[in-house]
Amino acid sequence: MSVVAPPKYLAQINDAIEFYKSVQLDFAQCAKRLHDELTESPLLKPFIHSSKYRQKDVDICAIN
């Protein structure tokens, strides 16, 4: 099910998405760096069953 934005905010939303697209890769790298920092630490390793990381996609929601 998709939702439609109120027309008066459409341009604002499109601008925000274009801006995010230009730095999306930076967010992906940010997530990976933090993920590796945490999961590779011997302090946390004994407790971790599994892990994931990702940046939010432009058109769908990535993580809750």
> Applying CB under 8 A, does 58 fall inside the site for another protein?
yes
**Residues 2-31 within binding reach of another protein (CB under 8 A):** 2-6, 9, 12-13, 15-17, 19-20, 26-28, 30-31
Whole-number Å distance between alpha carbons of 1 and 3? 7
Total residues in contact with another protein, by rule CB under 8 A: 46
Q: With the C-alpha atoms ordered 31, 35, 36, 37, is the resulting torsion angle positive or negative?
A: positive
- Interface with another protein (CB under 8 A): 1-6, 9, 12-13, 15-17, 19-20, 26-28, 30-31, 33-35, 37-39, 41, 43-44, 47-64
